[in-house]
Structures are given as structure tokens and as C-alpha cells.
Amino acid sequence: MTTPPPPPHPHPHPLLPLRAVLFDMDGTLVDTERLWWDAVEQVAGRPLTDADQPEVLGRPVEHTADWLAADGGRTGAELAAALHHAFAVRVHDRIVPRPGALDLLTALAAAGVPIALVTASPRAVADIVLDALGAGRFAVSVTADDTGRTKPAPDPYLAACRALGVDPRACVAVEDTPTGVASAEAAGCAVLAVPSLAPIAAAPGRTVRDSLAGVTPEQLAALVAGPAPEAADAPAPASVPEAAAPVLRVMSWNLWLGGSEVRDHRAKQLRAITESGADVVGLQETAEHAAPELAAALGWHHHRAGVNLGILSRHPITAVHGDPHVGFYGATGVRVRIAPGHEVDVWTAHLHYTPYGPYEADFDGLAAETLIAHEDVRLGQLREALRRIEECATEGVPVVLTGDFNCPSHLDRPEVAWPVTLAAAEAGFADSFRAAHPDPAAEPGATWSPVHRFHEDGSGRPEPQDRIDYVLHRGGLTVRDSRTLVLGTPHPWPDVADNDWPSDHAAVITSFVREA
């Protein structure tokens, strides 16, 4: 992990209605704008002029590469690769924080104000800068690789606000280029502009300063003071947590053999996690490397157990639970500090996939007592997970149990007393999705399977669609919302290689409010 943030302020931050500060990177936090300019000049083979600024500053690498390619000689892809290399070398060797940047980051962290990095640079470059500044300072980082459109479109800032769970109108974006300012303002953020090369004029909702030196959290809070505008075309606000009741968004996701069935699966996984707005993600089928690689790209904390399980957290992990060498099936957990004085235990579990109850019920017509008997392996695995949860439990600390249980719920198929979910309920765990959506007919919440519409034996039988992935909870948490997530419209198996969704399971995301 990178350098951790300074210790949080002991009380919820008093700077409401400011909910977060969203920083551009190049030219705003670090003096890379001139490094980028130099890199473009090197690749172009000529000096740049003021007339070139709109095609160079604040633009993604691919835009500038395509612009240079118009002169002929090299393709946009060749020029993009050359620009990436030239810029990365300069960033690695010559990175310098902008005046006042580190002081402001430290002051915001001390005040408890969430911070995001929102950049048009690729993830590979952003990670170099995050390492230099301390990735732990940032609750969220959004790069050119994480959204379909980047600046000047509003998408990067909207993605950051979704990930933080905040209304863009309650945030300040700090930018140094007209392109970045346009992106932030289109998203609905107040803007502090600190021009580096190209001039930026003041405007309503936009403050311009020469540098970040001397800027305080209180001054940023003043930029969003007062009620948020209610313009019809303003971005729809996200639900904003009250400072006294921290919100925790927990996601359960089976990555499907680490995502290896789908091209560019790691980038697609990052996009899914970013767009989900999750704070903590319980992972199954990680293929050993997914958790550390995703955490490094997100700038998050993580725990890996065995070759199959992992947990990602934007919040600090204060303790690790369970057997670190757990087998392919089993459970592991962590304790996360979601706010000063508030901790939650989050576990992830993966239970054996066979025999599969919905097949035996729908295809084989087995009786309820036989179906229940066939759950013995999974029931034993869950009971072992529950035993470990009890061993690590602390009074007053809520517990969230995520996982791919590979079995239906007694709440969804009530004709069978499915023993795995019943055992969880008897241990005090509530089903967050059914708490939010009590009627399974109205909201089935199926997670198996977005890519299997027909059974893979070639018989043409429809694949049973069941809810087998869960976010369960116990103690001190109130469910605010719960939903399943699948991005795009996945092609069915076996034509899955180019799917936007890199899994054969839907994810489940639940928003909890931590009770006082």
C-alpha cells in the first residue's frame, strides 16, 4: 500500500455543505503540465505554440496523438505509445508538487473532507503520481481508463461523485485548464481554477487563484455555501450521508476465474467498481492476483486470502480475520474504519458449486427433503464461516457477510427450507437485498447468470435465474438501498470475450447507514 493519509479529524468535519474536494492532477497537484508539453514537443519534433494549446492541454493522450497523426507519417496508436512513454519518463524523474498542494491535501484530510483525484491521464501515469503524493490521501481516483468519455465531458467528475456518494453541487473541483474546468462545471461542481499555462477567466460558480498556496478547507467550503441550485438541468443529486450517520456501500462480486474469460477484464472490473460507488468489495474467484492489482489501481486497501478470496476497501483496514491460507472455498474477513469511532467487520465467502439446487429442483424435480440434504457441504462451509465470524466479533461492531453461496434463498424459493440461508438468518444475519425489496416476484434480484440464458448442456432448456450472491448484515446497520449490477448487455456464453461485464455473476451492492 502507498503512504496512509494523516490521522482523521476526531469529529465529523464541520465544513458542510462541502462534501468532497475533487482534484485534477496534471498542472494542479503536480507540475506535470510542462512535462506533458515537453513530451508532446519531443514526439512532434517541433516547438509548440499558443495555438496548439487546445489540442494539448487537458486532453487525453489519444486526442493529442490523433491530432499529431493528421500531419501524416505515423498512426495515432504509434504516436499515443510514444507520448505515453515520453511523459511517463518525465513524470517518474521530475515530478514536483505544485505550491500549496500538499498543505491543502493535509488540511482537508485533517478536517475529514473526502478527496478524489480526477484526471485525463491514463492509470499508468496516475499511479506514479499517486505513489509520490500518497495514494492513501485519496478516497477515489478516476482516470482516462475508467470512463467512456473523459474531459471536457462531465463523466469523470460524475463518476467520482457517484463513487463518493455525494452530490456534485456540494463539491469543489480544483482545475488548471479550460478543458478541466468545462468538465467539472458540466458535472455541476463549483470550481477553483488555478491556471498553469492557459489563462482562465472568473465566472459565476468559478473562483480563480494564482496558486494553491494559502488555500484552506474553509475557503473551499465557502464556494458551495448556501442551498444547492434546483435548476431543471442540474445533475440529479446522489443521496448524501449525514456526518453523524456514516454510510457504507458494500459490494459482493464473483469475478469468474479472475475475469480471464473476458478481454481487458481488469480495466472492466475497475470501471464496474468505480461506477458502483462501493466503499468495500467482497470478492470471490480472484485467481490470486485480482485483489492486490485492483487495490493498487484504485489506490485502496486490500486483503487477500488463499487463491480465491479478497476484500477491497477505500477505508483503512484495521484488522484481518480468518485463515489467510483458506482454500478455494471458505471465508475471510477484515475490520474497516469507516469514520472516526465507527468500525465494521466485512467478510467474503465462497461456497461449493455442486450439487446445484436449482438444477436439481427445476430439471430433476427432486423433493424438498432431498434438496435440503444435498446442501450439506455448503451448510458445513457456511457454519465454519459463522464460527470464525463469532471468534472475531466485537460487541458494538456490525458485521457484513458477502459471498457467492451457490444456493437459493428460503426467502426467494419458500417451497424449500434452503438450509444455508436459514442458518445465516438463525445466526442473526438479515438479507439486505430482501430488506430493501421484500417481494421476490417484483424484484427477483437474480445474480446467476447474466451470460447463461440457456443451460450449457445444449438441450435448449432455459437456465434457472436465481439470486445466489448475497450481502447479509448483523447489528448496527440500517439498509438504505440494495441493487444488482451488470454493465452493458452481455453476450451469452460462449461469445463472452468482448463483453463489457467481465463476470458470469451479477454483483450486489447495498448501502447501509451506520446507526449511532
Are 186 and 303 within one domain? no
* Total residue count of the chain as it appears in this document: 516
Domain-embedded: residue 11: no
Residue ranges making up the domain that contains 65: 33-94
Q: For residues 280 and 318, what is the distance between their CA atoms, to the nearest angstrom?
A: 13
Are 52 and 109 within one domain? no
The strand ranges marked E within 395-467 are 399-404, 430-431
Are 472 and 323 within one domain? yes
Q: Convert the pLDDT of each residue in 430-489 to its tens digit.
A: 999 999 999 999 999 999 999 999 998 889 999 999 999 999 999 999 998 899 999 889
The pLDDT of residue 42 is 92
Are 195 and 66 within one domain? no
Are 173 and 259 within one domain? no
Q: For residues 292 and 311, what is the distance between their CA atoms, to the nearest angstrom?
A: 9
Domain-embedded: residue 373: yes
CATH number, domain with residue 211: 3.40.50.1000
The pLDDT of residue 2 is 28
Are 188 and 283 within one domain? no
Domain-embedded: residue 156: yes
Q: Convert the pLDDT of each residue in 191-211 to its tens digit.
A: 999 998 778 888 888 999 999
* Parallel/antiparallel/unpaired status of strands 206-208 and 247-254: unpaired
Domain-embedded: residue 242: no
Are 185 and 200 within one domain? yes
Domain-embedded: residue 301: yes
Count how many domains the chain has. 3
Q: For residues 285 and 273, what is the distance between their CA atoms, to the nearest angstrom?
A: 16
Domain-embedded: residue 439: yes
The pLDDT of residue 401 is 98
Are 40 and 133 within one domain? no
CATH number, domain with residue 372: 3.60.10.10
Which residues are paired to 350 by β-bridges? Answer: 330, 404
Are 58 and 167 within one domain? no
Are 180 and 308 within one domain? no
**Domain end call among 94, 124, 143:** 94
50 — pLDDT class (breaks 50, 70, 90) = confident
Report which residue type is found at 164: L
Are 279 and 311 within one domain? yes
The average pLDDT across 266-284 equals: 89
User: How far apart, in Å, do the first and last CA atoms of the chain sit?
Assistant: 31
Are 215 and 259 within one domain? no
Domain-embedded: residue 61: yes
Give the residue, 428 or 16, on which the prediction is more confident. 428
Residue with cell 485492483: 294
Domain-embedded: residue 402: yes
